[in-house]
Amino acid sequence: MLQFDRRVGPDLGVTYPSREVPAWFRDAKFGVFVHWGLYSVPGWASPRLPGQNVPAELEYSHHQYAEWYANTVRIPGSPAQDFHERRYGVGVSYEDLADVWTAEAFDPAGWMRLFAESGARYVVPTAKHHDGFCLWDTATTPFNSARRGPRRDLMAAMAEEAREAGLRFGFYYSGALDWHVSHFPPIRSLTDLFTLRRNDEAFARHSFEQVAELVDRHAPDLLWNDIDWPDSAKAGGPYGLSELFDRYYARVPDGVVNDRWGVAHLGYRTREYQSESRTSPWVWEATRGLGQSFGYNRAEDERHLLGREELVHLLVDTVAKNGNLLLNIGPHADGSLPGDQVERLRYLGEWLRAFGDAVYGTRPWVRHAEPAGQPVRYTLRPDGTLNVIVLDPGAGVLTLAGDLVETARATGSWGDGPVKIDSSGNIEIPGGLRELPAAVLTMRTP
């Protein structure tokens, strides 16, 4: 996967603001990504099991992301093209699907209540993906959800209900790719990803005006751009990227941006279906779907989804390494949420209600884990409490590194009293915690 923080482009003499990552983002730790759009109507991609790879030359014709359908379906002989012609008929274009998307089961208040109950502190829906279909009532193009399909400003509804549920609100925007206003052949390689895109001034202004509309209307807490930004906007001037950042930060002083703009300015780094190997000196965000696609993929089943324990472990591992987890859910086209994905979000929420103090508002400790032995993760609370998050409580005992045993003996707690440590330094895990995906021992820092 790409490391977008390394794609900063040439020095064009533009000075970008130097900003700290806001405390709210560092404290939040968990957000929900929502990939919902016109691509949810077919809701199909070539299924790929976790860890399964395809040859490089087939990566784009057999794309695992359903939100890439508008590109994949144009590749002759691709499985998506075969699926499309069988389902919709020869001659039906991707953009024709805008007239059959009704979103009749869309319940923005219900969505946001679920996300809040799952423990998320922020939500990031897709305002416009690479297909160019806008989920708000925009003056920049008629290809939007207010004029076609749902006949509704979907972003406005989500923004209002997110704030009502107490969530920070951001939006995803495809800055570099818009297939609706481009005439390039389909992307078939990583090289194509960065060359088959518009970089002219007209398109740069188009992108500027779309994001500015959303910023002015909704004051989003977060801007999550994808792939890059039109190169002609990177040298400053009217409708330039630096002007867009200035406008955004003036509107949202504690706002934050990600790293996918293609310039030397970022708020935090992103890792897609990846992690850091150890505690990072910078704030970062791990993002992935509950399955192997972000957009809903009807071809996926339980084999493709994160397990419940895996999900808890992914969150605590990310937080211990100075990261946030942005976990994606892919709604059905009608706006209903896949039951297997909802169940996993609820499971994570139950664990966070019991052990959220070991996650929210924490910072990394001097090490995130032990190099060998029982799997644990460490986080540090502002008051100096060290959280030892045990990823295998079913083992019944916890063996800590020697420098922590005496501290645990003197100050440790499972939440209901002092710990029991035998002469070998093994700590007994109470029986009631052994069935959990992770248990938390707290102590003062040594």
354 with 397, same domain? no
Sole residue written with tokens 């630096």: 242
Asked if residue 365 is part of any domain, the answer here is no
> What is the mean pLDDT for each group of 10 consecutive residues in the chain (446 residues)?
87 86 98 98 95 92 98 97 97 96 98 98 98 98 97 98 98 98 97 96 98 98 97 93 96 98 95 96 97 98 97 98 98 98 98 98 96 90 97 94 89 88 92 96 94
Q: What are phi and psi of 141, to 5 degrees?
A: -160, 145
Token pair, residue 7, equals 């794609």
339 with 432, same domain? no
Sole residue written with tokens 């032990």: 370
381 with 328, same domain? no
Asked if residue 147 is part of any domain, the answer here is yes
Residue after which a domain boundary falls, among 358, 387, 411? 358
Q: Which of 435, 437, 439, 436 is nearest to 427 (CA)?
A: 439
Number of structural domains found in the chain: 2
Asked if residue 363 is part of any domain, the answer here is no
Rg of the chain on CA atoms, in Å: 23
Token pair, residue 323, equals 């990261």
311 with 435, same domain? no
Domain containing residue 271? 4-358
Asked if residue 38 is part of any domain, the answer here is yes
Q: What pLDDT score was predicted for residue 402?
A: 82
321 with 175, same domain? yes
Q: What pLDDT score was predicted for residue 372?
A: 78
Look up the pTM and report it: 0.97
Helix (H, G, I), strand (E, B) or coil at 397: strand
246 with 391, same domain? no
288 with 179, same domain? yes
Question: Dihedral, CA atoms, 232, 233, 236, 239, nearest 10 degrees?
Answer: 130
Q: What pLDDT score was predicted for residue 16?
A: 86
354 with 385, same domain? no
Q: What pLDDT score was predicted for residue 371?
A: 84
The DSSP result for 158-219, as a single string, is: HHHHHHHTT-EEEEEEESS--GGG--PPPP-SHHHHHHSS--SHHHHHHHHHHHHHHHHHH-
Give per-residue pLDDT as tens, 386-433: 999 999 999 999 998 888 999 999 999 998 777 999 988 899 999 999
Residue after which a domain boundary falls, among 323, 358, 393? 358
Q: What pLDDT score was predicted for residue 418?
A: 78
Asked if residue 368 is part of any domain, the answer here is no
Whether residue 121 contacts residue 222, with contact meaning beta carbons closer than 8 Å, is answered with no
Give per-residue pLDDT as tens, 324-381: 999 999 999 999 999 999 999 999 999 999 999 999 999 999 999 998 778 999 999 9
421 with 322, same domain? no
* CATH code (residue 135): 3.20.20.80
